[in-house]
């Protein structure tokens, strides 16, 4: 069975500084991994996905994530935070296509001016 | 053009009532899902339908019943509403997992329906 752990429930950064949101996963198979973002009172938007191609995945809005099998990690990064990045971020794992997505508990990102 | 839409966006009702939430997707997907997001933002799958057939039914009270009239729609009916049903419910859709050449499961989410039971 798959699971995902988001190591920080809340991360606060200053505008213009780097963002790091940490995620570790557990999977019996080669997983597919995703990061979704949820802005306040909005739905979920896919930021990026890893599907066994390149281990460094680029997403929208300048976000990246690196799949590290040896560390079972899929941390989300961005070089420079913007105020509009303030939102809830979910790391998600799927073992295989016909199993449900399993969500982490989310990390709330605050960006300080 | 909205890819996955839900109605209503907000739903306030009394305990014991029966209510429905509608979901429609115009992406041509044949798998649809319902998720529940609790007050702590935790998201959990409730149901998954593929080509109008139920394929995932997590531990959900049988007061909740999904209905799929066609591949583009998956409605959620809730009977005898309870206080604990208050949450945000998200609909999502995807192509049939595995059909994209890789067993992954990129899902597109609707905007959510905030249900408040008084």
Q: Residue B99: is its pLDDT beyond 70?
A: no
| Inter-chain touch A43–B90, beta carbons under 8 Å | yes
Q: What percent of chain B has pLDDT over 70?
A: 91
Q: Which of the pair, A23 or B54, is modelled with greater confidence?
A: A23
Alpha carbon of residue B72 to chain centroid: 12
DSSP conformation letters of B39-65: TT--EEEEEEEETTEEEEE-S--TTEE
Residue B63 contacts A where some CB pair is shorter than 8 Å: no
Task: State how far residue B16 is from chain A, nearest Cα, in angstroms.
Answer: 26
List chain B residues with CB under 8 Å of A49: 104, 106
Q: Residue B54: is its pLDDT beyond 90?
A: no
Q: What is the pLDDT of residues B58-85, one digit of tens each?
A: 778 889 999 998 889 999 999 999 999 9
Structure confidence at residue B79 (pLDDT): 96
Q: Residue B101: is its pLDDT beyond 70?
A: no
Q: What is the pLDDT of residues A42-80, one digit of tens each?
A: 889 999 998 777 889 999 999 999 999 999 999 999 999
| Inter-chain touch B40–A46, beta carbons under 8 Å | no
Residue B43 contacts A where some CB pair is shorter than 8 Å: yes
Q: Which of the pair, B96 or B77, is modelled with greater confidence?
A: B77
Is residue B102 within 8 A of residue A51, CB to CB? The reply is: yes
Confidence of residue B14 (pLDDT cuts 50, 70, 90): very high
Q: Residue A89: is its pLDDT beyond 70?
A: yes
Tell the residue number behind the tokens 């649809």, with chain if given. B32
Q: How far apart are CA B9 and CA B91, in angstroms?
A: 12
Cα pseudo-dihedral B49, B50, B52, B56, rounded to 10: -30
| Inter-chain touch A101–B107, beta carbons under 8 Å | yes
A110: tokens are: 């605050």
């Amino acid at each position: 069975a798959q699971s995902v752990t988001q190591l920080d429930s809340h991360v606060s950064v200053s505008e213009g500084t780097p963002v790091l949101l940490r995620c570790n996963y557990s999977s019996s198979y080669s997983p597919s991994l995703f990061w979704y973002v949820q802005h306040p009172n909005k739905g979920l938007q896919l930021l990026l996905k890893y599907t066994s191609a390149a281990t460094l995945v680029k997403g929208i809005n300048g976000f990246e994530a690196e799949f590290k099998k040896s560390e079972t990690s899929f941390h989300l990064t961005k070089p420079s935070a913007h105020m509009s990045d303030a939102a809830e971020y979910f790391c998600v794992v799927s073992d295989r296509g016909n199993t449900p997505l399993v969500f982490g508990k989310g990390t709330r990102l605050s960006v300080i001016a | 053009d909205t890819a996955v839409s839900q109605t209503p966006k907000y739903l306030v009702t009394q305990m014991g009532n029966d209510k429905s939430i509608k979901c429609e997707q115009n992406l041509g997907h044949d798998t649809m899902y319902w998720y529940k997001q609790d007050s702590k933002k935790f998201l959990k799958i409730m149901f998954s339908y593929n080509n109008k057939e139920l394929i995932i039914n997590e531990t959900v009270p049988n007061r909740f019943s999904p209905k799929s009239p066609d591949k583009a729609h998956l409605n959620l009916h809730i009977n005898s509403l309870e206080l604990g049903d208050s949450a945000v419910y998200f609909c999502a859709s995807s192509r049939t997992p595995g059909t994209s050449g890789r067993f992954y499961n990129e899902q597109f989410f609707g905007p959510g329906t905030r249900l408040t039971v008084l």
